[in-house]
Amino acid sequence: MAGNIMLEVVTPDKSVVSEEAQIVVAPGEYGEFGVLIGHTSFLTTLKTGMLRYKDKGGSERAVFVSGGFAEVLPNKVTVLAESADRRRDIDVERARAAMKRAEQRIAEARTKEDIDARRAEAALQRAIARMKISERRAA
C-alpha cells in the first residue's frame, strides 16, 4: 500500500474524525464508493448512512453521517455533514425513541404531504441508519 489517506469528518458542532486511514468507504449519492490514497479529485453529496474506514492499525471504524457531502483529494478526504457520530458515540436508546416518534408522526401525517411529514421521514431514516451502525458492533 502506497500509504494512508487523511480523513476528516466535520460537523457544525465539532470535528468528529481527524486521522489517517488506509481506506475510506462512503455512502455517495450514486452509490457507495471507496477511496484509497491517490484517488482522483472528486466531489459528491452523501446519503444518510454509514461511512467506514480502516484506521492506521487496520481496525475497521464506522461513522454515522447525514446531510453531508464529501470532497476527495489525492491525499485527503473531507466530509462535511450536518450530523455525524462515531459508532461508539451513538445513543441507541435515543435513536430508538426517535424512530418511534418519527413513525408516529408519519402515521399521523399520512393524509397530507406537508413539511412535517418530510422532516419525520428524514428523522426516521437517520434513526434507522444510526441503529444499523450500532448493531454491527454486536454482530
Q: Which residues bind another protein (CB under 8 A)?
A: 10-15, 28-30, 40-45, 67, 69, 71, 78, 80, 82-83, 115, 119
| Secondary structure (3-state) at 112 | coil
Question: What CA–CA distance (Å, rounded) separates 11 from 14?
Answer: 5
CB of 16 to another protein, least distance (A): 11
Measured from the CB atom, is 122 or 131 closer to another protein?
122
Q: Which is nearer to another protein, 96 or 118 (CB)?
A: 118
Residue 92, helix vs strand vs coil: helix
Contact 23, 77 (CB under 8 A): no
Nearest approach, Cβ of 113 to another protein (angstroms)? Answer: 13
Q: Which is nearer to another protein, 34 or 137 (CB)?
A: 34
Compute the least distance from the CB of residue 85 to another protein, in Å: 12
Do residues 103 and 117 lie in contact, with contact meaning Cβ atoms separated by under 8 Å?
Answer: no
29 versus 60: smaller Cβ distance to another protein? 29
Distances (CA, A) of 34 to 42, 77, 103, 124: 12, 11, 32, 26
Q: Return the SS3 of 23.
A: strand
Of 43 and 97, which CB lies nearer to another protein in the complex structure?
Answer: 43
Q: Report how far apart the first and last C-alpha atoms of the chain are (Å, whole number).
A: 29
CB of 78 to another protein, least distance (A): 6
- In the complex, the smallest distance separating the C-beta of residue 94 from another protein, rounded to whole angstroms, is 13
